[in-house]
Amino acid sequence: MNVPLSEMARTSDGATPTHRAVDADGVTPPRESNLSMPANGGQGSRAGIVGLVSRRAKSAPARGNRQGPLLRLRGDIPQSLVWMLTAAGVAALVGLWVMASTIWTSDGFQVPTIAATWDALVEMARSGELWQDFRASSLRVFWGYSISLVIGVGLGVLIGSFRSVDAFLEPQLGFLRYIPATALTPLLLIWLGIEEAPKIALIVVGTVFYNLLMVADVARAVPNELVKSAYTLGAGRLTVLRRVILPHSWPGIVDVARINLAAAWLMLVVAELLAAEEGLAFRIVRAQRFRRIDRMFALLLVLGLLGLMSDMALRWLRNRSARWAKD
């Protein structure tokens, strides 16, 4: 006798077998849930089901492990912990300096103590050399990096916004950006002389391509939906550039300037080797001739503090002018 597949779920005595029935297509139907609503749909039954679900949720084990605040991936940590870790990092650096100047120092590896470095810094400050070198180096970085930013931001926004400009400038940029800026030093001396012009030009050439390409990537990251919405509202190309692309790109542009500022201070060291008579890097090279390692360390500290202060100033500018993108 042919038994329908739908009747195979029960045996002759009405008991349900251990295996589940299949339909005519050979597909196993889903098992009915124990939490199904009764036919009468009463409020008491619903309350019972809600209570059962709540108890099962509480008794079910949590998925994943709870991460502590110290090693949490991409999570916030308490501000007190931030200050503690910052202090620990500074203390570790100072401790490493103390060990290098006392335990590890030798004739071939000399590291001045913190006290000797401070004395050398005070000596240069009292003689007036430090302030004169500080002013000369700061002005070179300021003018060189300002010119680099003007060129990089202007062309970068155009490259990131117009595919035609990108296609026109891509071959030149792809070729020029792989020429080391330091290799242009002899040409800059021949073309611009030995005054301040070649030093500033070297900082410009050494940083402009970084600024240009990174700003172009920032401009490309503006969502197309914003641009299309502006066109839909009747805005023209200049209005879209001024009211959509530039405001959206501004926080990223400031971040690009902050990151690439380190390259400007790096190029300063090379620039002040070009017949310079003052400057922090020039003073370091001069101290090396007389093996004044304490002065060298003191000048390196000044360079590091200058870079840190300029980085903090740009970070403040970003948070002040783009509050919606505040860190």
Say if residue 19's pLDDT is above 80: no
pLDDT of residue 63: 59
> How far is residue 154 from each of residues 11, 151, 211, 213, measured CA to CA in Å?
82, 5, 10, 11
Q: How far apart are CA 123 and CA 116, in angstroms?
A: 11
Give the H/E segment covering residue 301: helix 293-321
Give the distance, in angstroms, between the CA of residue 295 and the centroid of all CA atoms in the same chain: 33
Residue 16 lies in a domain: no
Reported as a single tens digit per residue, the pLDDT across 28-59 is 554 544 444 444 545 555 556 556 555 655 55
Task: Quote the number of domains for the chain.
Answer: 1
Taking residues 313-321, report their average pLDDT: 90
- On whether residue 180 sits in a domain, the answer given is yes
* pLDDT reported for residue 204: 96
Q: Which residue has the higher pLDDT, 172 or 1?
A: 172
Residue 12 lies inside a defined structural domain of this protein:
no
Structural domain includes residue 52: no
What DSSP string runs through 270-296? HHTTTT-SSSHHHHHHHHHHTT-HHHH
> Which DSSP category does 22 fall into?
-
In a domain, residue 175? The reply is: yes
pLDDT of res. 79 = 84
Q: Residue 310, Cβ neighbours under 10 Å: how many?
A: 20
pLDDT score recorded for residue 50: 53
Kindly state whether residue 84 falls inside one of the protein's structural domains: no
Structure token pair of residue 84:
């503690």
* 21 located within any domain: no
Angle, helices 129-161/280-289, rounded to nearest 10 degrees: 130
Which structural domain, as residue segments, surrounds residue 173? 109-325
Contact 240, 232 (CB under 8 A): no
What's the pLDDT band for 257 if we cut at 50, 70, 90? very high
* 82: confidence class by pLDDT, cuts 50, 70, 90: confident
Encode pLDDT of 95-150 as tens digits.
999 999 888 878 778 899 999 999 999 999 999 899 999 999 999 999 999 999 99
Which CATH number characterizes residue 237's domain? 1.10.3720.10
CA distances from 263 to 104, 174, 181, 223, 257 (A): 31, 19, 11, 30, 10
Count other Cβ atoms within 10 Å, centred on residue 153. Answer: 22
SS3 category, 66: coil
Domain-located, residue 142 = yes
C-alpha–C-alpha distance, residues 272 and 108, integer Å: 27
161-197 pLDDT, tens digit per residue, is 999 999 999 999 989 999 999 899 889 989 998 889 9
Q: What is the pLDDT of residue 58?
A: 52
